[in-house]
């Protein structure tokens, strides 16, 4: 069986410039062997992985971690760290009157 | 996947990645479908997002001299919606010839109605009023509260001659302007 190696790029959003404030990327195969253990540069990392194979990915930056799995078919995989977002909810008819209690629900499209 | 943001006193926080989200609301007393905007894009560099929501109830303040539904109406009494500390929101409402002032778009709920705060800021100049923050809750879409603005108390004014101790001035008038 011919194994095709594919060159892919990881793009990690919310990282710094060049080598500053970058993320550490770890890639494991399905047997949990560590295949890659490298830092991004400008938020990017190029890798050579087996096409149509599954890998586990860990991306670590400061105290945050993204854990994901990829199936190698695309050229580019984009990852984004979450951050704290503040939501303000006011009464539409009484300018700036804060809503005492309730919930806003956000659904990813 | 849904992310629930709990709102307390107008503010809530959550951990989110950059993406576009559909927004729904669950706010007791308010019309959840009126949440605005109904879609939000969380983007790099912006960490605070504002929303608004509407209610559909009507609160009538009926102001009379004796505080009853049949009392003499007081015209020109003004009120504001406030928070619990008395900070004013929105525009003032004023009693009409029937003594009625109306807060539109106020929240109501049969079991979980939020508290509505308001205060009176003026009467018509001839009646006393309570300026402290008042509150109510509405379990139905319309409600009327009776408010008393009693006639100013009778005061006795004396006018005496300043050079002859206690000598009353027989006639004349004093004008007091507030």
| pLDDT of B54 higher than 80 | yes
pLDDT for the residue numbered B101: 97
Check whether residue B49 and residue B67 sit in a common domain.
no
Check whether residue B75 and residue B141 sit in a common domain.
yes
For the segment B126-167, what is each residue's pLDDT rounded down to a tens digit?
899 999 999 999 999 999 999 999 998 888 899 999 999 999
CA atoms within 13 A on the CB side of B111: 0
Q: Which residues of B touch A109 (CB under 8 A)?
A: 19-22
CATH superfamily, domain at A5-80: Immunoglobulins (2.60.40.10)
Residue A97 at interface with chain B, using a CB cutoff of 8 Å: yes
Check whether residue B98 and residue B84 sit in a common domain.
yes
**Per DSSP, what are the bridge partners of residue A5?**
A50
| pLDDT of B1 higher than 90 | no
Check whether residue B46 and residue B79 sit in a common domain.
no
pLDDT for the residue numbered A3: 83
pLDDT for the residue numbered A108: 86
Q: How far is B39 from chain A (nearest CA, A)?
A: 8
To 10 degrees, the CA torsion angle through B87, B111, B78, A96?
Answer: 40
Q: How far is A92 from chain B (nearest CA, A)?
A: 5
Check whether residue B64 and residue B140 sit in a common domain.
yes
pLDDT for the residue numbered A48: 96
Residue A86 at interface with chain B, using a CB cutoff of 8 Å: yes
pLDDT for the residue numbered B160: 94
Helix, coil or strand: residue B121: strand
User: Could you state, in order of their start, the residue ranges of all structural domains in chain A?
Assistant: 5-80
Are A86 and B15 an interchain contact pair (Cβ–Cβ within 8 Å)?
A: no
Q: Strands across the sheet with B88-94, in order?
A: B88-94, B78-82, B116-122, B134-136
| pLDDT of A81 higher than 90 | no
Check whether residue B63 and residue B119 sit in a common domain.
yes
pLDDT for the residue numbered A57: 96
Are B40 and A106 an interchain contact pair (Cβ–Cβ within 8 Å)?
A: yes
Check whether residue B87 and residue B40 sit in a common domain.
no
Option in B2, B30, B104 nearest A107 (CB): B2
| pLDDT of A1 higher than 80 | no
Task: Provide the CATH number for the domain around residue B124.
Answer: 2.60.40.10
Token pair 């206690």 in the structure block, residue: B166
Token pair 């990813």 in the structure block, residue: A108
Check whether residue B16 and residue B65 sit in a common domain.
no
Where residue B90 falls (left for φ over 0; alpha for ψ -120 to 50; beta otherwise) is left
Q: Which residues of A touch B105 (CB under 8 A)?
A: 91-94
- The average pLDDT across B14-38 equals 95
* Inside any domain, residue B172: no
Q: How many domains does chain B have?
A: 2
Token reading at B147? 């408010």
pLDDT band at B69 (very low <50, low <70, confident <90, very high): very high
pLDDT for the residue numbered B135: 97
Are B10 and A107 an interchain contact pair (Cβ–Cβ within 8 Å)?
A: no
ipTM > 0.90? no
Q: How far is A58 from chain B (nearest CA, A)?
A: 16
Are A85 and B8 an interchain contact pair (Cβ–Cβ within 8 Å)?
A: no
Which residues span the domain enclosing B98? 57-148
pLDDT for the residue numbered B125: 85
* Inside any domain, residue B158: no
Percent pLDDT > 70 in chain A is 99
């Amino acid at each position: 069986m011919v194994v095709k190696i594919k060159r892919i790029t990881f793009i990690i959003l919310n990282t710094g410039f060049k080598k500053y404030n970058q993320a550490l990327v770890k890639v494991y195969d399905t047997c949990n062997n560590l295949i890659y253990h490298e830092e991004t540069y400008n938020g990017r990392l190029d890798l050579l992985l087996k096409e149509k194979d599954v890998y586990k990915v860990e991306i670590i930056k400061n105290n945050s971690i993204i854990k994901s799995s990829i199936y190698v078919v695309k050229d580019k995989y984009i990852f984004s760290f979450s951050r704290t977002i503040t939501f303000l909810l006011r009464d539409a008819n009484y300018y700036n009157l804060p809503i005492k209690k309730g919930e806003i629900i956000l659904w990813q499209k | 996947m849904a992310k629930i943001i709990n709102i307390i006193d107008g503010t809530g926080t959550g951990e989110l990645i950059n993406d576009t989200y559909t927004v729904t609301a669950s706010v007791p007393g308010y019309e959840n479908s009126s949440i605005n905007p109904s879609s939000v894009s969380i983007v790099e560099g912006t960490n605070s997002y504002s929303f608004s929501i509407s209610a559909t109830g009507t609160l009538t303040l009926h102001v009379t001299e004796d505080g009853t539904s049949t009392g003499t109406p007081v015209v020109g009494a003004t009120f504001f919606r406030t928070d619990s500390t008395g900070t004013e929101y929105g525009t003032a409402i004023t009693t009409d010839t029937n003594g009625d002032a109306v807060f539109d778009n106020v929240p109501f709920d049969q079991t979980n109605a939020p508290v509505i705060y308001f205060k009176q800021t003026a009467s018509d100049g001839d009646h006393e009023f309570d300026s402290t923050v008042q509150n109510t809750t509405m379990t139905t879409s319309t409600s009327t509260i009776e408010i008393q603005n009693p006639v100013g108390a009778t005061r006795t004014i004396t006018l005496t001659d300043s050079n002859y101790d206690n000598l009353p001035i027989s006639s004349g008038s004093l004008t007091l302007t507030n």
